[in-house]
């Protein structure tokens, strides 16, 4: 009877409650952050590039294992809001799928299949614009086709165009540089690298340009001027025709601030393309440079006071770009330089006319 009473009391003890999906998610976030901090700490102590590469090979799989558990959490709780949070977390992670890991690809596939209409996929679009594998494109197309929000569709369309143009550029570079091909394989894995090698850059670029046109025709009005200005600033680092057509379309925007930054971006795109074309077609490069100079002049004249983000004003940036274009562009005579050599002897750059000269500019703080 005594033993039976003790057993009954033991049964009366409250059972431990199972952690909620949200609690599991929060625990995984902490676990991943801890593993990530340990990795960066070790990476900071690496003395050589070889040490860094070795750490990447050793530590990336450990981080991948935690990311896989995020996916398992989403699979076990498909109807819980935490499922989207877990999948988006993996999709946005820089380590996911690195070196051939599959967690990010699986997360993107699940988002496209089960959660494409979720409001939480909107902020993910910009990240997808920088991906290299087909899953990024598939999810962006699904969001563009099925998401109920026009604003999210706009972000998806914009990111899809960027993704396609970026992949086209990478495919061309890999075809020209065997060493880059090896680096790419180490970064994205053999499967993705092989797919990129087989891709047609002309088709990718044409599709990217198509998305840029669709965005300009249908979705520009869905974005606020500040977002469009930020977009123009990023376009200025591009050199493809799709980015140029989008920048030219934004030059017609109702906001003068958008017009100014778009004009500056179009000029920068043409300048970059001229530099890339110079060795292949000097005549075409000269035409691009002339058009670039024209747009820089317009930007300086008509939009001098418009803010250009971290670059100051459109006028100031255009002035600097014009000086570089007119005096420092490929094929232009080098500007006059007078200084002293390491022995204190004065010299002019023109003294070395006809000889190969390397100028090393550096600064001591």
Taking only the tens place, the pLDDT of each residue in 295-351 is: 999 999 999 999 987 778 999 999 999 999 888 877 778 888 888 888 889 999 888
Question: What is the model's pLDDT at position 115?
Answer: 95
Decide if pLDDT at 87 tops 80: yes
CA distance 11 to 329: 84
DSSP 36-75: HHHHHHHHHT--SHHHHHHHHHHHHHHHHHHHHHHHHHHH
Q: What is the pLDDT of residues 232-270, one digit of tens each?
A: 998 998 888 889 999 999 999 999 999 999 999 999 999
Question: What is the model's pLDDT at position 303?
Answer: 96
235: how many CB neighbours lie within 10 A of its CB? 24
Q: Determine contact, residues 239/273, Cβ cutoff 8 Å.
A: yes
Query: pTM for this structure?
Result: 0.81
- CB-based burial label for 318 (10 Å; 0-12, 13-18, 19+): buried
What are the residue ranges spanned by the domains of the chain? 21-37+44-115, 116-223, 225-333
- CB-based burial label for 297 (10 Å; 0-12, 13-18, 19+): middle
Question: What is the model's pLDDT at position 7?
Answer: 55
- Please state the rounded mean pLDDT for residues 79-86: 95
pLDDT band at 99 (very low <50, low <70, confident <90, very high): low
Of the listed ranges 97-101, 204-208, 212-216, 281-285, the one predicted with least confidence: 97-101
CB-based burial, 73-109: b 16+ in 10 Å, e otherwise: bbeebeebebbbbbbbbbbebebbbbbbbbbbbbbbe
* Nearest one of 180, 232, 229, 239 to 208, comparing CA atoms: 239
Question: What is the model's pLDDT at position 168?
Answer: 92
CA distances from 249 to 213, 253, 282 (A): 9, 7, 27
CA distance 252 to 265: 13
pLDDT band at 63 (very low <50, low <70, confident <90, very high): confident
* Nearest one of 205, 116, 112 to 162, comparing CA atoms: 205
- Please state the rounded mean pLDDT for residues 42-56: 83
Q: Determine contact, residues 156/140, Cβ cutoff 8 Å.
A: yes
Residue 347 is inside which H or E element, if any? Answer: strand 346-348
Question: What is the model's pLDDT at position 339?
Answer: 86
CA distances from 97 to 60, 68, 104, 186, 292 (A): 9, 11, 5, 11, 39
Decide if pLDDT at 365 tops 60: no
Spatial neighbors of 70 by CB under 8 A, at least 6 apart, are 25, 28, 32, 86, 87, 89, 90, 103, 107
Q: What is the pLDDT of residues 155-176, one digit of tens each?
A: 999 999 999 998 998 898 888 8
Decide if pLDDT at 6 tops 70: no
């Amino acid at each position: 009877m005594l033993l039976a009473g003790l057993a009954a009391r033991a049964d009366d003890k409250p059972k431990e409650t199972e952690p909620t999906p949200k609690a599991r998610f929060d625990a995984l976030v902490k676990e991943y952050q801890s593993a990530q901090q340990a990795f960066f700490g070790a990476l900071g102590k690496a003395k050589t590039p070889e040490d860094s590469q070795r750490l990447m090979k050793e530590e990336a799989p450990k981080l991948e294992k935690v990311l896989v558990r995020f996916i398992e959490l989403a699979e076990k709780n498909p109807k819980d809001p935490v499922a989207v949070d877990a999948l988006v977390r993996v999709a946005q992670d820089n380590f996911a799928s690195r070196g051939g890991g599959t967690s990010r690809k699986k997360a993107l596939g699940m988002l496209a299949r089960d959660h494409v209409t979720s409001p939480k996929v909107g902020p993910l679009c910009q990240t997808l614009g920088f991906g290299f594998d087909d899953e990024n494109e598939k999810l962006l197309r699904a969001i563009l086709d099925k998401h109920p929000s026009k604003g999210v569709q706009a972000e998806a369309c914009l990111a899809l165009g960027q993704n396609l143009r970026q992949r086209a550029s990478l495919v061309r570079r890999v075809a020209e540089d065997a060493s880059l091909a090896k680096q790419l394989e180490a970064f994205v894995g053999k499967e993705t690298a092989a797919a990129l090698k087989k891709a047609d850059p002309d088709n990718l670029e044409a599709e990217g340009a198509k998305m840029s046109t669709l965005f300009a025709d249908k979705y520009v009005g869905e974005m606020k001027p500040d977002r469009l200005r930020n977009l123009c600033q990023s376009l200025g680092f591009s050199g493809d025709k799709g980015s140029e057509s989008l920048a030219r379309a934004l030059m017609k925007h109702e906001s003068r601030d958008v017009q100014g930054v778009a004009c500056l971006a179009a000029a920068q795109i043409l300048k970059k393309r001229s530099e890339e074309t110079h060795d292949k077609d000097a005549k075409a490069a000269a035409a691009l440079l002339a058009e670039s100079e024209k747009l820089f002049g317009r930007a300086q004249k008509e939009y001098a006071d418009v803010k250009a983000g971290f670059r100051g004003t459109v006028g100031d940036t255009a002035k600097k770009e014009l000086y570089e274009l007119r005096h420092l562009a490929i094929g232009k005579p080098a500007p006059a330089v007078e200084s002293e050599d390491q022995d204190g002897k004065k010299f002019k750059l023109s003294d070395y006319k006809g000889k190969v000269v390397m100028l090393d500019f550096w600064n001591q703080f």
